[in-house]
Structures are given as structure tokens and as C-alpha cells.
Chains A and B, each alone.
Chain A
Amino acid sequence: MTHLISLQEQYFEMHFSGALFWKEQSMLLISDVHLGKVSHFRKYGAAVPQLAVQQNFDSLTLVVEHFKPKTVLFLGDLFHSALNIEWTLFEDWVQSTNAEIVLVSGNHDIISPLKYETIHIKVISELVLDSFLLTHHPEERDGFFNFSGHIHPAIRLSGLGRQSVRLPCFYKTESQMILPAFGEFTGNYTLEPCDGCEVFALLGDAVLPVPIKEVKKKRSFRKKPI
């Protein structure tokens, strides 16, 4: 269900929902939930199934109950757009949650921080904890390991018989880890693996370290003369 790794002598547990739990800090990192997206579309005349709204809140509840963190840190793009009806649902969810909630603001977060303050959520632009840097956009800063979101990373796996599968993933390089998008109806972006990176794919009910195979370059068929 989860997968544990250690970074600079700290322990991090990846959850199949896309959340990441920092054990020593008892902090749950969640990125790109895009709450309100379904309602936003509906408000503008695109009839996305309304039942999909509830799923995000169910997943949030599930993951918070699983880890029981002291802090929930959203790594940006918590809300997709301007205020809509889902804010009320979010308020209800916040009420029912014991953890302290902090939002690292992302490019989609256009709702006023004052609004968040009224429900006791702190909005910040980034967070530095020891040698860890937590941001929305991936960032390289000397001496820091960066956790971020924004990209909605996915990875393509290939196998014999021209098989391939695309899965959302945690994407880790030497100094960065990009979290997958937590939200329903958010989409993702396929990243190529790079030298020295590690990839952990979300399998629906498990997190799986992805084997990375080096290949020369794409093979192509050459016709043999008759």
C-alpha cells in the first residue's frame, strides 16, 4: 500500500493516493488537489459528472485517517479556480480534521489568503525545514532537497510485445522529488526517466518502484533485400 524511502536520514512514506508522509515531522504532503474543478466546469456549462466532486474529499479523509499527521501541507493548486460551492465542502472537511493545515501557494491558488485564514489555514509561498525546501514549482537550490508538485508527473512503462502503460508517479532525482497530482480529474504529464532518477508509480492500491532500463535508441525495422 505504501513505500518507504529515506532521504538525509529522514523517513518518507509514499501512499498510493499520491500523498507523502514525512515521519519525523508527522507531516503529510499533498499536491495538486484542484478542488472545485468539477464545479468550475459545471458552472461554465460543461456537465462533468457531479458525483466526481465527493471523491477528492473521500480520498483526503482516507489518507489523513491512515497517517494521522500533525500537519497537512498542501503543495499548491489546492483549489482549481475562483471560489465556488466546493469551498463549503472543503470547510466541512477542514472542520472534521484535527491536523494543522498549511498551504504552499500554487499558480492556480487565486482564492484570497484571508479566506483561508477564516478557517485557520496558513498560506505561505514556500517552506524550509532543516535542509528540505517545500515549494509548488520544482526548484533547484544549493544545499536543499526540494519537494514540489505542479508537474502532475506520470511515467511510461514498456515491455515485450509493444506493450506500454502510463501511470502517475513520484519522480525523484538527486535533489528533488515531484509529487503526483492528488486530485481526481486532474490529468498528468509524462516525464522521461533521467540519469540517476528514481520513479515510484501509483498502481491504484499500491506504490511500485519502477525498474529503469537503459536502451540505445529506438530500434527501427530495416528491410532486408529479397
Chain B
Amino acid sequence: MNREELYDIAKNWFQEQNWKPFKFQKDTWKAFLQGKNGLLNAPTGSGKTYALWFPIVLNYIKNNPDYKTKHKKGLKAIWITPLRALSQEIKQSAERITLDLSTQMTVGIRSGDTSTKERAQQKKQMPDLLITTPESLQLLLATTGYDKIFKDCTAIVVDEWHEILGTKRGVQMELALSRLKNVSPHLRIWGISATIGNLEQARDVLLGIESHALDNSVLIKANLNKKITVKSIIPKKMETFPWRGHLGLHLLEDVIPIINSSKTTLLFTNTRSQCEIWFQKILEKHPEYAGEIAMHHGSINKETRVWVENAIRNESLKAVVCTSSLDLGVDFAPVETVIQIGGPKGVARFLQRAGRSGHSPGKESVIYFLPTHAIELIEASALQKAVKQNTVEDRMPYLNSYDVLLQYLTTLAISDGFYPKELYNEVKQTFCYQTLTEEKWQWLLNFLVMGSQSLQSYDEYKKVDIEEDGKFKVNNRGVAMRHRFQIGTIVGDVNLAVKYQKGGYIGSIEEFFISKLNKGDVFTFAGRNLEFIRIKEMTVQVRNSNKKTNKISSWMGSRLTLSAQMSELLRNELYSSSEPLKNQSIEIRALAPLFKRQRRDSIVPKPSEFLIETFKTRDGYHHLFYPFEGRFVHEAMGSLLGYRISLLSPITFSLAFNDYGFELLSDQQIDIQQVLDNDLFTVDFMLDDLQKSLNATEMARRRFRDVAIISGMVFTGYPKKGIKMKHLQSSSQLLFDVFRDYEPDNLLFQQAFTETFEHQLEEGRLRLSLERIASQDIVWKECAKPTPFSFPLITDRMSREKLSSEKLADRIKKMAALLMKK
């Protein structure tokens, strides 16, 4: 069959559905059938699955003209999805094609939810089309004889590549692809990505720099212009609207008319605990919604999630309170309206969420922004501009993640083993490890085999062995078993399964939350009030309770930050408050009372001004700085400035950051004049000082946690399985101390610092901000009391950083243990 005949099959199918293929779909079919690799830039709900499932099936038809009568078994294509919740949906769209075209192709899913039985069956006979996650793909690489599984694979599609790209799962994918390129000679690699700032780079990362695969590739853009309308929910009484907070419950009643006037509404919250609270509160205030609203987040059990997703499709729900768990994939035609509660911290994410409504092509998407505190209205206004200008942020890929590489090497050593020389060349072709030197490579190999860089006496370290012919192989079953458990846990805290005492899985929860509970405590989880009974083998046993509670299950989640472009928009919105009314957005106008108060107690800075505020409360001396550059830049600048000040005289700081500014809180007053006289905002020695400040704070320590888990130094166990590994559990914090004291040059220990540097502190942006500050007039206001701008910062108790140049003995002289009086 020639290509035209193949296209006809596809076009006919589209005609039967009364659809017309989009240009991007046809372009993708063509490129794929030409044997090209590529990146498809298309939003959710645009028909992107058909852009790639079709050519995969057509290619099979081409190679097997008797496809209707004969079935050639074996894996033909892999579809990678970051969320296993999406796999059903993807499977259905694939099956539609394989059935309608009368092929005998089979479609299967392999993820953490797949039963052991099904897995074993798959091992005997792989489905033709396999839908899986990055972790499960790694697990396949950990099976003996994996090369046979992938031998005839013609395609791998990485869906939602933009979500995976900037994470360590992205690195996992890069490594898996580098291997597959060599075991699957007919492989095409395709990625699907929503719009991000660095699409070209996203393609480089997917295919490998300077690779043959990249040379033979295309970037296809869907260019579907979708109309998005953003509306801010503006508090009717600005005077009583809070200056701080992150829940947004003050505006709950304003949400009700929106829900009532549309078929189905999705309410996006930023955290799972916020999701739980909103769900609870809506029902409490409006019991008439019982049965008509639901909740959806990543820690609720699969059955409930699937039920909710289906209910959205059947239009049997008025509203769903959800988290990023509904960001991706899944097509929900009935959703008419989306409400974003609190700052989405990213234009791309905001657009994606907006796209969840009016999902059919051509329909308008409507998204409401609900601010959780006053200053967030500035963000709302900036978001409107960003949507208009289509300003989206970059997703930054990781470089030299030694932890992921060690995990990958162990994975290969478990299955068929590897020869370092060959593998080095393969690994070096990935984007992540392009600069990996042979020395570092040798270091990693030594670490795998000896657990150190030289053979020690009195050592029983056991992991990877070197066989006689030089092959690296794991021969110990225990090591292999523990490693398999570990592959899935690329991120996240230790998760415990929540179950009723009599059985019945409700969901999973992070250990840090449960560790705060005592027997008999009641907490809210998955919309239920549950009494905590005990923890038994990684399972939290609970029973239903009628008691009221205000303990709501919470999860740490990751912190996001504003991009450079978004920060600039934000500053401009702020500056517009000093301009004539006609230049102000409705959000800025609504904030008039707040700006008035801010001007009374301090100033609202103009573009040429940099504001510093100082005042004293019973908490101590507050020093506030407002660069308006986004959280990460503030973390960097706060640490840098804190460190430089701490060199002048012994002092201890508690630091708080948000997207607008940062605070240095101390028990002593800082002489701001001295700070200015000493030119402490200078870019000179910035890098050096920043590095030193990292040792003074605990940022790297927190980063180390993931590194320790991924590289297999900390065992987390496995939720639901409850494997006993108690004697092997330690905290990454303890490990961090041991490395600091005994092996500070360890690459994994160093990696924690490098990552903080590259991914959290955004050194490049810090330099630009400092240069901007150098060109501004510094306005130092000694205020009598907290100002509106300062409020969200000084009241932040949760995510503070510490920095000190005082001796411990001197510090604790001023301290005491607190005894709570009941």
C-alpha cells in the first residue's frame, strides 16, 4: 500500500465521524510515515492523540498487508503519559482506531495500577500498543531480556512532554530513549507538548543533542487559535478583604452564581488540602449541592477518580473541586467554566486550565480568577495581559543528574547487565549528560561497585558486581528487589496508604501529616471525617467519625515561581496604580483602598524606585525588600543579602519569600544605612557569596532529600505493599549530616548544591535584578507598623529559611523551650 492509500484509510475514518482532519494531524501522519521523529506542539483536546495513533496503525497496515486476517504479535508502539489517570482515555482512542480499521491489534496499559496477574500476562505476550508511565518503562528495562520486548517497536510517543521535561522524570525518559534507540532499530521518537517558551530545546532534549534522531526530525505546531476570556472575581467590599491567606474562602459565595449558571464548572485549587477545604466548605454552606459536586486530586483512590471523571462526561455533576490532577489529558466536553482559586504561578498552566472549558474546537474558553488575598489581584491583572500576549514560560531541563543516572545504571545491572564503555557513549548523547566526563563516569561506576572511591577494609558494601568479562551486573536478589521498589519513587514524601480497619483503600497520604496525629484524632481526607487508629506496616488504619474537625489532610507539594516575563508584567501592573484611572485595569482600581493605606504608611514604588521597609513587632525586627521578581529570585537575593549582612556582625535571620519580595527577620535591628553604604546589592562576587550563603541556609539540605531517594541511599518502602524495611529506614537529613561530616566531595552531596543553584536560585535572573536595582533609587521607609505589602510576608510561618553567623552557644542563650499552657 502506498502512502496515499494509507491516508485515504485515515481520511475515510474521519469522514465517517463527520470530522475533518486538521492540518497538523495530516502533517504529523506524513512525517511519521516518512520515518521521521518529531515534536508536536498541540494543546489538550485538539485531537493530538489521533495525530499519532493513526500513523502508528497505518504503518502497521503498510508492513502487514494481510492485517485484517493475520495478526503479527509483539510490541509495536509505546505511549508514555505522565499521569496514569489518563491511560484509560488514551486506550479508548487507540482502540477506536484499531477496531474501526479492522486490525487485530491489541492495546494494553502498564502502570502502578496494573495487577500483578496482568503484568505477568504482558510479560508473556506484550500488547501491540502499550500505554505506560516513565517509571513503568524503567521497570521494563529492569526485566531480563528486555531487548527482545522492544526489538520490533516502531514508535514511542511521549505525551505531555512539557510536564515531564523540567523534572527528573524527564531525565529518566532521556535515558530510556537513549537505550531504546539502540535496541529498537525501527524506532521513531515523538513528543507532544503544550506551548512552552523553549519548544526547540524541548525537541533537543527529547531526541538528544547532535543526534541522528534530531537531524531526522520535525517540529509541528498545531496553531489552533483558541479564544480565552479571563475574568477576575473582585471582592465587593475591598475594605474587609484580607491582606494575606491562601484559601480564598471569603469569596465562596461569589462562586455560587457562576456554578449555577453553567453546566459543569471545574474549580482548580493549588494544593490538595485547599481542594479538601473548598469541597467541605461549599457543602457546608450549600448542602443543596450534595451529590452534585465532587472532588478530584491525586491522593484519592483510583476508583473514585475514575467515577468523578465519568460523571463529568455524563454531565451528572455541577462542579468539581480539583487540583493539577485534572490539568492534563482527559477530554471533558461538558465543562463550560473553569475557576482558578489563587495564583496559578505560571501562564502556561493557567492557559492549560482555561483550556479545560469549551473543549470542543472553536468554542470559547472562560476562566475566572479568584484571588485569595488582596495583592493577588495585581497578579490577576498581570495574568490577563499575559494571556493576551501569549507570554509563556520555559521549562528548564535538568543537567548532570547523577542520582537519576545511578538509578538507571542499577536498573540495567538488574536486568541484562551493561558494559560501561558502550553505555558511556550512549549516555553522553543525552541532553542531560552531554558534558559528563570520563572521570565522573568512573566515579559513578566506583560508587556502584564499592560504595566509595577506593576499596575499604572492613567493608561489606554490596550492590553491583563486575563479572569476569567486565559486565556490570546485580546478582543479589535483595538488591534487585529493593531497587525495583525504588524506581517508582522519583519524587514525593513517604506515602502511606489510608485504609479502613476492615479493609477498603481510601487513598494515600504523606507521612509528615500523619506523624502529627495521635490515636483518636479526627481528620478530613477525601471528603470524609476519619478517626486515626494506628499505623501498621505503611498503612494508616482509620474508621469513620461523626466528630467535627479542623484537621485537614495536607501535602507538601512543590512550590512554583513566577517567570521573568510574568514578573515584569506584575511590576508594570503595580506601577500602573500611580497612573491615571483610565490606564488601570479593574483589578488595580479595586485595590485602591489597599494602595491608599500602603501610601499612608509607606510608598507604592515607581519604576525608578526600589522599596525597603523596616519596622518592629513583638516577633522582632522586620526588614522587607520588594524587587517584584518572583519567588526564586527572592530566595536567592534574600540569602545573598542575608549572608552579606551576617558578615558585618554576628546575626541570625529568619527569611521569608513570596513572589513580590522577601523579609529578613531578626532579634536585632539591621542598620539599613550601613547595608547601603557597603553596597551590599552589588553584583561583584555574587556567585561566590551566593555559594557561601547556600552553606549557611538549609536549601541544599532539602534538595538532598530527592537525590538520596532517587540514588537509592534512602529506602522509602512502597505504599500498599508495606514491605518491612525498618532497619534500613533513615532520614535523608541524617544522611546529609553524615555526608557533610565525612564525604563532602561526594558527587551526590554536591549535586544537591548544584541543583539548588540551577533550579531554585536562578542565578542569571538574580544578576539582572541586581543590575536593575543598581539603576534604581533606593527608598528606605521606617514604618510604625506592618504595611499592606508586608503582610503576606511577615505572617508566613511555614516556609522560612534560616541563616546565622552567630555561635550556637550565643544564640541559645537568648532562647528557651516553650511549654504550652492549655
Q: Are A45 and B819 interface neighbours, CB within 8 A?
A: no
B819: chain A residues at CB < 8 Å are: 192-195, 212-215
Q: How far is the CA of A156 from the CA of B712 in the complex (A)?
A: 31
B791: chain A residues at CB < 8 Å are: 223
**Closest Cβ neighbor of A219 among chain B residues:** B618
Q: How far is the CA of A167 from the CA of B460 in the complex (A)?
A: 32
B821: chain A residues at CB < 8 Å are: 214-217
At the interface with chain B, which of A58-66, A78-86, A95-103, A117-125? Answer: A78-86
Q: Are B741 and A159 interface neighbours, CB within 8 A?
A: no
Q: Are A47 and B239 interface neighbours, CB within 8 A?
A: no
Q: Are B738 and A159 interface neighbours, CB within 8 A?
A: no
CB distance from B490 to the nearest CB of A (A): 17
| Given A192-B820, A213-B819: A162 in contact with B809 (beta carbons within 8 A) | no
At the interface with chain B, which of A21-29, A128-136, A137-145, A200-208? Answer: A200-208
Q: Are A45 and B620 interface neighbours, CB within 8 A?
A: no
Q: How far is the CA of A218 from the CA of B653 in the complex (A)?
A: 21
Q: Are A85 and B460 interface neighbours, CB within 8 A?
A: yes
Q: Are A159 and B814 interface neighbours, CB within 8 A?
A: yes
Q: Are B738 and A157 interface neighbours, CB within 8 A?
A: no
A156: chain B residues at CB < 8 Å are: 817-818
Q: How many residues of A contact B (CB 8 A)?
A: 64
Q: How far is the CA of A155 from the CA of B818 in the complex (A)?
A: 10
| Given A161-B620, A161-B667, A212-B819: A40 in contact with B654 (beta carbons within 8 A) | no
Q: How many residues of B contact A (CB 8 A)?
A: 72
B20: chain A residues at CB < 8 Å are: none
At the interface with chain A, which of B396-404, B422-430, B530-538, B724-732? Answer: B724-732
Determine whether B35 belongs to the interface, using a CB cutoff of 8 Å to chain A.
no
| Given A192-B820, A223-B242: A160 in contact with B728 (beta carbons within 8 A) | no
CB distance from B709 to the nearest CB of A (A): 11
Q: Are A45 and B816 interface neighbours, CB within 8 A?
A: no
Q: Which of A42, A157, A217 lies in contact with B451, CB distance below 8 A?
A: A42
Q: Which of B240, B479, B666, B712 lies in contact with A161, CB distance below 8 A?
A: B666
Determine whether B4 belongs to the interface, using a CB cutoff of 8 Å to chain A.
no
Q: Are B746 and A157 interface neighbours, CB within 8 A?
A: no
Q: Which of B738, B797, B817 lies in contact with A212, CB distance below 8 A?
A: B817
| Interface mask (A14-42 → B, CB under 8 Å = 1, otherwise 0) | 00000000000000000000000011111
B667: chain A residues at CB < 8 Å are: 159-161, 163
B459: chain A residues at CB < 8 Å are: 39, 42, 50, 85
B788: chain A residues at CB < 8 Å are: 226
CB distance from B87 to the nearest CB of A (A): 32
Determine whether B652 belongs to the interface, using a CB cutoff of 8 Å to chain A.
yes
Determine whether A116 belongs to the interface, using a CB cutoff of 8 Å to chain B.
no
| Given A40-B727, A161-B621, A162-B654: A46 in contact with B746 (beta carbons within 8 A) | no
Determine whether A89 belongs to the interface, using a CB cutoff of 8 Å to chain B.
yes
CB distance from A108 to the nearest CB of B (A): 8
Q: Are B727 and A184 interface neighbours, CB within 8 A?
A: no
CB distance from A98 to the nearest CB of B (A): 25
Determine whether B714 belongs to the interface, using a CB cutoff of 8 Å to chain A.
yes
CB distance from A88 to the nearest CB of B (A): 7
Q: Are A213 and B808 interface neighbours, CB within 8 A?
A: no
Q: Are A161 and B461 interface neighbours, CB within 8 A?
A: no
| Interface mask (A38-56 → B, CB under 8 Å = 1, otherwise 0) | 1111111111111111000
| Given A43-B461, A157-B812: A226 in contact with B594 (beta carbons within 8 A) | yes
Q: Are A159 and B811 interface neighbours, CB within 8 A?
A: yes
A39: chain B residues at CB < 8 Å are: 458-460
**Closest Cβ neighbor of B451 among chain A residues:** A47
Q: How far is the CA of A39 from the CA of B743 in the complex (A)?
A: 16
**Closest Cβ neighbor of A88 among chain B residues:** B458
Determine whether B478 belongs to the interface, using a CB cutoff of 8 Å to chain A.
yes
Q: From residue 272 to 303 of chain B, which have CB atoms closer than 8 A to chain A?
A: none
CB distance from A220 to the nearest CB of B (A): 9
Q: Are B665 and A46 interface neighbours, CB within 8 A?
A: no
Q: Which 7 A-B pairs have the closest CB atoms?
A: A161-B620, A47-B451, A159-B815, A160-B667, A161-B667, A49-B742, A157-B815
Excluding A44-B482, A45-B479, A47-B461, 16 further A-B contacts by CB distance (< 8 Å) are: A39-B459, A46-B714, A48-B713, A85-B458, A89-B458, A159-B814, A160-B619, A161-B653, A161-B665, A162-B654, A162-B665, A162-B800, A185-B730, A187-B734, A195-B819, A226-B593
What are 14 of the A-B contact pairs (CB < 8 Å)? A46-B728, A48-B713, A49-B452, A84-B460, A89-B458, A157-B812, A159-B814, A161-B654, A162-B620, A186-B734, A210-B817, A212-B816, A213-B818, A218-B820
Give me the interface of A with B, judged by CB distance under 8 Å: 38-53, 80-81, 84-86, 88-89, 108, 155-165, 167, 184-187, 192-195, 199, 201, 203-204, 206, 208, 210-219, 221, 223, 225-226
